[in-house]
């Protein structure tokens, strides 16, 4: 159950043939990150994750992180040692700026490293993920003195970072936070308040933790407009860069969670802690979105990565477990992989995982284009596409993470419900991903409420038109691709109809569009995934490798014929409006039982 095989061949094919990584490596600043170099680097990374990080996944789940009587947090056995090896190898610094000691590789490469690490051990991977978000916020908005003080050792991973947003009364409604920040004569701020759900808010893997804390200054506007962002280090930093006195940040408790037990989720109390303003006062929401947008693609990758790990385990189990006699088998018993329904579940996992991997990497390539393309128009368009793809990747990716890990457990039968097999851990661990970094409902609302309206809808319609260009390519590729072409055309039509309805309804009745936003986002996920699988099948056919060509064709055809048709079935839900959602009051929703109790 601790075995993990990095899917390096799949990743290399995706980079070279599906998402156009060689073009990313030609962008200014990425010339050193050519495909051959990247593939060699990823092979070494995969070996490290499989050998050092994957074996402690189960132990971390069983043991969990623990709060000691002295207020410190101890991670499970092996985590501290593995993290030190991770830092020494420099894996966290690969996609970060060379100016502060990073490798300067594209974000696309960083996403692959994150997949490998998360498949190996999701709970372990959360610490570097949060650190990267904090780094990007400081890079974008921090003054030079703050960058020079904190970034070099955060980039190496010697120091880790957190995001402190949530409070008991302020979850998705960040503007309701009450943490206070009062300016001192020396320019620092006194931070007072309590934050909850702080991932790796304290731990023993690094000597310093750099908290990014949202707080409100005296006299600031109500709501999100009055929020500022502060660096609040666990230890104050002396002028020579050494660590000084302990800051007044206390871990009050650790949450008892469904999964990711090894990742300490802390309640932190700030009692006049020393903080340093990032940027200007009341710019906290802008900074928060830098952190959140970085993390949202990363969370989508979590859905893919844990699904991959669960799939590998279920595939191995299906080959080993013998039960009953398959059609046409002679005597004895058959491995359950020989039964059609088990094959259906395995193929569903395999096809969705491939589609998700292509989508995550495609989004990452557009992130790289949005920052490094020398053409301003190309950068602007890439940024629009990132805006479209990121909520889809986060929401659809984590929804499928839940669904595919459940399928993997189902393949195990009753043994999957037994903790010792490890199948249940994958399901428990990934369940949080649809909730944090903006719930999936918020992602759908963002897609419909913000991204759909960019340039009066032209941004998304242009992207859909670009996707539809593949119809002609499939038509010219021969009869093997014909069912894929026909089904894609039918589903693109449904998605286009839903998009036009959303644009019209959203202008007159925003609640109507928001009511269908979740099924609408799933329509996008299904179509975009099928589109990427079709691209992969066409690319594989051109490689001259018959085994690769057959496998990619089968995945694309299976998805188009058996999974993609769900898209059109969601059209009614996407365009139903809000009438029935709001027709019953709370008492009526309680039904007969509610009336009996009253």
- Strands (DSSP E) contained in 217-327 are 227-233, 235-237, 243-246, 249-254, 265-277
Q: Is residue 380 one of the residues assigned to a domain?
A: yes
Give the whole-number percent of the chain exceeding pLDDT 90.
Answer: 92
User: Where in the sequence is the domain holding 372, given as residue range(s)?
Assistant: 288-323+334-574
For residue 208, which phi and psi values (nearest 5 degrees)?
-140, 140
Q: Is residue 244 one of the residues assigned to a domain?
A: no
Residue closest to 367 by CA, chosen among 41, 31, 24, 14: 24
pLDDT of residue 289: 83
Give the whole-number percent of the chain exceeding pLDDT 70.
Answer: 98
Q: Is residue 195 one of the residues assigned to a domain?
A: no
Q: Is residue 543 one of the residues assigned to a domain?
A: yes
Confidence of residue 550 (pLDDT cuts 50, 70, 90): very high
How far lies 173's CA from each of 3, 150, 165, 213, 267, in Å?
A: 41, 29, 10, 16, 18
Which is higher by pLDDT, 442 or 327?
442
Q: Is residue 227 one of the residues assigned to a domain?
A: no
Give catalytic status of residue 88 as yes or no: no
Q: Is residue 492 one of the residues assigned to a domain?
A: yes
Q: Mean of the per-residue pLDDT values for the chain? A: 96
Which CATH number do you get for residue 381? 1.20.140.10
Q: Is residue 567 one of the residues assigned to a domain?
A: yes
Stated as kind and residue range, the H or E segment containing 198 is: strand 189-199
Confidence of residue 444 (pLDDT cuts 50, 70, 90): very high
Q: What domain count does the chain have?
A: 1
What is the rounded average pLDDT of the residues 9-18?
98
Q: Is residue 400 one of the residues assigned to a domain?
A: yes
Collect contacts of 164-170 with beta carbons under 8 A, ≥24 apart: 164/195, 164/198, 164/201, 164/211, 164/212, 164/213, 164/214, 164/232, 164/268, 165/195, 165/214, 165/288, 166/195, 166/196, 166/197, 166/198, 167/193, 167/194, 167/195, 167/196, 168/194, 168/196
Q: What is the pLDDT of residues 161-172, one digit of tens each?
A: 999 999 998 878
- The active-site residue out of 23, 437, 550, 592 is 437
pLDDT of residue 57: 98
CA separation for the pair 115, 45 (Å, rounded)? 11
Strands 243-246 and 227-233: unpaired
């Amino acid at each position: 159950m601790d075995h993990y095989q990095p899917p390096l061949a799949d990743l290399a094919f995706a980079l070279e043939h599906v998402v156009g990584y060689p073009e990313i490596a030609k962008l200014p600043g990425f010339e050193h990150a050519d495909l051959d170099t990247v593939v060699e680097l990823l092979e070494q990374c995969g070996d490290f994750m499989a050998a050092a990080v994957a074996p402690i996944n189960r132990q971390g789940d069983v043991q969990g992180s623990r709060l000691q009587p002295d207020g410190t947090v101890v991670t499970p056995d092996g985590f501290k040692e593995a993290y030190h090896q991770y830092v020494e190898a420099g894996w966290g610094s690969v996609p970060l700026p060379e100016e502060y000691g990073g490798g300067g590789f594209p974000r696309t490469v960083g996403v692959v490293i994150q997949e490998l690490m998360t498949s190996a051990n999701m709970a372990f991977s959360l610490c570097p993920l949060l650190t990267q978000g904090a780094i990007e916020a400081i890079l974008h908005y921090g003054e030079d003195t703050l960058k020079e003080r904190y970034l070099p050792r955060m980039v190496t991973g010697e120091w880790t970072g957190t995001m402190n947003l949530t409070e008991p009364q302020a979850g998705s409604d960040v503007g309701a936070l009450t943490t206070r920040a009062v300016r001192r004569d020396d320019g620092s701020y006194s931070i007072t308040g309590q934050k909850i759900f702080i991932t790796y808010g304290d731990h023993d893997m690094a000597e310093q933790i750099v908290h990014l804390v949202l707080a409100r200054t005296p006299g600031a506007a109500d709501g999100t407009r009055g929020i500022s962002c502060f660096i609040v280090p666990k230890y104050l930093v002396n002028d020579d860069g050494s660590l000084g006195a302990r800051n007044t940040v206390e871990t009050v408790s650790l949450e008892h969670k469904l999964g990711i037990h090894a990742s300490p989720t802390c309640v932190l109390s700030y009692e006049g802690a020393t903080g340093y303003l990032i940027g200007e006062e009341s710019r906290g929401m802008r900074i928060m979105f830098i952190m959140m947008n970085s993390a949202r693609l990363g969370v989508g990758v979590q859905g893919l990565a844990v699904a991959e790990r669960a799939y590998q385990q279920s595939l191995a189990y299906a080959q080993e477990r013998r039960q009953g006699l398959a059609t046409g088998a002679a005597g004895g018993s058959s491995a359950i992989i020989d039964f059609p329904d088990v094959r259906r579940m395995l193929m569903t996992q395999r096809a969705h995982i491939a589609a998700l991997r292509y989508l995550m990497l495609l989004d990452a390539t557009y992130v790289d284009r949005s920052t490094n393309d020398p053409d301003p128009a190309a950068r602007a368009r890439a940024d629009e596409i990132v805006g479209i793809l990121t909520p889809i990747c986060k929401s659809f990716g984590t929804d499928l993470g839940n669904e595919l890990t459940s399928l993997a457990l189902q393949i195990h039968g009753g043994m999957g419900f037994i903790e010792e097999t490890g199948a249940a851990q994958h399901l428990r661990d990934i369940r949080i991903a649809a909730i944090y970094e903006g719930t999936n409902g918020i992602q759908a609302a963002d897609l419909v409420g913000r991204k759909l309206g960019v340039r009066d809808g032209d941004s998304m319609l242009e992207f859909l038109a670009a996707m539809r260009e593949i119809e002609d390519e499939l038509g010219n590729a021969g009869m093997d691709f014909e069912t894929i072409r026909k089904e894609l055309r039918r589903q693109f039509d449904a998605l286009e109809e839903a998009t036009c309805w959303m644009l019209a309804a959203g202008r007159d009745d925003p609640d109507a569009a928001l009511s269908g936003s979740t099924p609408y986002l799933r329509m996008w996920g299904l179509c975009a995934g099928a589109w990427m699988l079709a691209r992969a099948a066409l690319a594989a056919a051109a490689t001259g490798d018959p085994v690769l060509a057959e496998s990619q064709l089968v995945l694309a055809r299976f998805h188009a014929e058996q999974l993609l048709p769900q898209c059109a079935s969601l059209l009614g839900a996407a365009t139903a409006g809000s009438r029935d959602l709001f027709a019953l009051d709370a008492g009526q929703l309680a039904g007969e039982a509610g009336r009996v109790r009253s």
